[in-house]
Chain A
Amino acid sequence: MTVKKLEKAAFDKWVSACITSQRVFGVQAKEDRFVFAPLANAADLRLDYDVTILPPKKYFQPPRETLLKFDRNEGFESVFDNQPFVLFGVHPYDMVAISQTDKLFSQEHCDTHYVNRREKATIVACDVQNASKDVFAGCMGTATVNDGFDILITKIDNDYLVDIRSEKGQALAETIKDAEDADDISLKLRKLVWADNAELLQKHKLNVRPDVLPKLLGRSYEHPVWKEKSERCYSCGSCNLVCPTCYCFDVRDDVEWNLQKGERYRVWDGCLLAEFAVVAGKHNFRANRADRYRHRYYRKGKYVPEKIGEVACVGCGRCITACTANIANPVEVYNKLVDEGK
């Protein structure tokens, strides 16, 4: 729709205005890292962040989420969270991940718990200003993003370009309507930022085009890398939990003290966890660490792509950082498959 250009002061004023009128979550510092958290002051917003510990998926699919309430005699009732909110500072790779999850949750049986939250969200994306130590979005084509968000912010020198793309974005940008439109030079500079980011966000270099991954994996099922790497795998699930495209969950019931009323909730789960594929009789369909370890790479690189046509790794690098055993680097693993496939 339109691209506005704001100076730092005007930008902060706008953020403050958003905070007073809406529920806003934005990126902030937590010790030496960054997290999305409720935003109280414009000054706390850190759009210069490198990467957040958890991706913004936590707002669409919270770690623990009540699905239903029940009364043991009367039955179940759905619980939906319909409160609108604004997410400030979503990086392009995370935006791509959100759009993927949108597809998966709305495909076939539509998950209204997810979809309702998603539809109530206004997403203010922002181009990366500082690359994190493990990011490789540049290799995955996700260093920049074209759609999915309501507003895209790009910092050019000391100014902010505010690219408004939807009605929700328009509504949020109400308070800045008298700001000037971005000039051509700024727009050109923005293109440069995009081009640069595609290069800069390659802290690890993938030696294969992402769209070739399904084929590559197609012939690597018995590759020794799975066993080799997984010997050091704790099955701790950190790589699943921090991943913006992982969304598996477990469903549990709990009752109140009266044993009458209670709730059914879902919690994040992960295919790396030992019990993920256990059925009655304790039979485990993925009993070996190697099987679980492999499944994750296949899911990202083959299974999801076969379902929605996109590779389900956006190159955020979070799993690389989170894995205390240093074995969760997709680039390293996929490159190994390329090298040894030759």
Chain B
Amino acid sequence: MSKLKVAFFDFACCEGCQLQVYNLEEEIIDLLELVEPVEWREAMSDQSDDYDVAIIEGSITRIEDEQRLKAIREKAQVLIALGACATTGGVNNLKNNFDMQDVKECVYGKDANMPHLDTYPTKAVNEVVKVDYMIPGCPINIKEFSYIVRCLALGKEPKIPDYAVCVECKMKENVCRFEYGEICLGPITRAGCDAKCPSSGMWCFGCRGFVDNPNVNAAKDVMAEYGKTHDDLRGKMLLFGSKQEFE
């Protein structure tokens, strides 16, 4: 069987999702039996235009990124959006709560209008090009990444969960964050992370994006019972950027 030719590309992000691939440790060697990385700037010096699968990390925040991404899409048979920044915009979405000029001035002061500092509101990859598979999470769950790579190598359609983090949280037998009077986004957030945060005593802040049909109205309705307001909920939901879901 010939190996899948894979290229990694990064846009605005922390590169933590690529780092997860390193975090496969010994399994990297197994991974390399299935795929042949032809471009992976963070790991190797080669560059290539000949790939089957393009893995895109990061959000799109500039016109030039958009052009680069479109060129990648043209060459790739399969395009995967890797991580929260690529699948939903991730934390980069927080920028969109402000006016862009204000954002630039806040960081670069009087130099804000230098051309190389230009920026526009954050876009997820699928707002620019067609995405074949999404691997959500901030960072990605490396087990899910591995599973998806193996599915592609097997010719099988990978399936990511469309149920809430609560499912995995319950399987871990965690004490529910609501019992501590905290707002946890678990009931509306897409599972697949093994409920990492609640398992470490922290509420879920929705880094994997929401399930296909999140009951946001229910969430609003329930807040008062925990002594919280809609604004508290809204703040949480905005963290990993899904304004539209709240309204």
Please say whether the chains A and B touch (CB closer than 8 A): yes
Chain B, range 211-240, C-beta contacts under 8 Å to A: 211-215, 217-219, 221-222, 225
A273 touches B187 (CB 8 A): no
A259-B150, A259-B153 in contact; A33/B175 too (CB < 8 A)? yes
A30-B173, A231-B217, A322-B170 in contact; A258/B33 too (CB < 8 A)? yes
Q: Which of B34, B153, B176 has the most CB of A within 10 A?
A: B176
Does A108 interact with chain B (Cβ within 8 Å)? no
Does A135 interact with chain B (Cβ within 8 Å)? no
Report B57-93 CB contacts with A as 1/0, cut-off 8 Å: 0000000000000000000000000000000000000
B171 touches A63 (CB 8 A): yes
A234 touches B218 (CB 8 A): yes
Does A192 interact with chain B (Cβ within 8 Å)? no
A32 touches B170 (CB 8 A): no
A241-B170, A324-B176 in contact; A259/B154 too (CB < 8 A)? yes
Alpha-carbon distance A59/B162, docked complex (angstroms): 26
Give the A interface residue count (CB, 8 A).
Answer: 36
B167 touches A231 (CB 8 A): no
B215 touches A235 (CB 8 A): yes
A63 CB contacts on chain B under 8 angstroms: 171
Report A186-197 CB contacts with B as 1/0, cut-off 8 Å: 000000000000
A238 CB contacts on chain B under 8 angstroms: 166-167, 170, 176, 187
Chain A, range 241-295, C-beta contacts under 8 Å to B: 241-242, 254-255, 257-259, 268, 270, 273-275, 289
Does B147 interact with chain A (Cβ within 8 Å)? yes
Question: Chain A interface mostly helix, strand, loop or mixed?
Answer: loop
A259 CB contacts on chain B under 8 angstroms: 34, 150, 153-154
B33 touches A325 (CB 8 A): no
Alpha-carbon distance A322/B176, docked complex (angstroms): 8
Does B179 interact with chain A (Cβ within 8 Å)? yes
A257-B30, A274-B212 in contact; A235/B164 too (CB < 8 A)? yes
Q: Closest CB-CB distance, B148 to chain A, in whole Å?
A: 11
Does A31 interact with chain B (Cβ within 8 Å)? yes
B215 CB contacts on chain A under 8 angstroms: 232-235, 289
Does B53 interact with chain A (Cβ within 8 Å)? no
Q: A31-B175, A232-B222 are in contact. List 15 more A-B contacts (CB 8 A).
A: A35-B173, A234-B215, A241-B170, A255-B150, A257-B30, A257-B33, A257-B150, A273-B167, A274-B162, A274-B211, A275-B163, A321-B179, A322-B176, A324-B166, A324-B187
Interface residues of A (CB under 8 A from B): 30-33, 35, 53-54, 58, 63-64, 231-238, 241-242, 254-255, 257-259, 268, 270, 273-275, 289, 321-322, 324-326
Interface residues of B (CB under 8 A from A): 27, 30-31, 33-34, 146-147, 150, 153-154, 162-164, 166-167, 170-171, 173-176, 178-179, 184, 186-188, 211-215, 217-219, 221-222, 225
Q: List 21 A-B contacts (CB under 8 A).
A: A31-B175, A33-B175, A64-B171, A231-B221, A233-B215, A234-B164, A234-B188, A234-B215, A235-B215, A237-B166, A257-B31, A259-B34, A274-B162, A274-B163, A274-B213, A324-B166, A324-B178, A324-B222, A325-B218, A325-B221, A326-B225
